[in-house]
Structure 1
């Protein structure tokens, strides 16, 4: 069996980190019985990281800073735009009263893709802050509303 190179170990750890980020956000969504949970968001984050790593690891690009800059820009634009279409698929406008449902779910799809890209770029401090802040945004408003006796709309 062939031993893994340091590059392969690093890539594997980045992919694992991306998957864990998606699973963490997805766990929150599963607890609330939302349509996208651990499996979906784990795969979204893993996929974003995988695509980003593949683009960043092309040998000719790594030696040319201008080319690498264009690749990073293209990866960021492509992944985040593409994932926006997946998120758009969970947004529904109710025909009767015109309310919109699924925006938070769509946003969790988008943020987990962003976390996956950040894992590919090994931006560890940003990733940690991103996961914590995403979970705070998903958890805190409901708790604050409950503490002050306000009615919290949980339609998404």
Structure 2
């Protein structure tokens, strides 16, 4: 069971980190190889939403890294208070940035520039990641987890949300 848990935590942190790096790489590849993508990738609002998404993915990766490191020491308690304090601060920063993003959504809807849909997709993706990390778990990977979700018919609190309580 110990090895299964450490492997799962390793996969969670390395997967989030890999997604962060992959998204940035694809972003840069499209920026340099396709002229038509420049307005979508370099305009303020899509760039803001993309950086917000990357910021959130890094937070998730860091959280799972800390849990993996803790599990390797066979410490299955909550994170130390100083680390939880960091995540409480990040949660406030995220809320502020999501609020700025919401104002930008309103602005984009009114002005209706061509990058609205791309920005909206990235913003909603970032919002889903925020909810997934800081409130309820939105992702269920294994059949057992999906069966438990069906049985209880509600989302479980995320591990980070439980620790922050």
Fold agreement, TM-score > 0.5: no
The two structures have a TM-score, normalised by structure 1, of 0.37
Structure number with higher helix proportion: 2
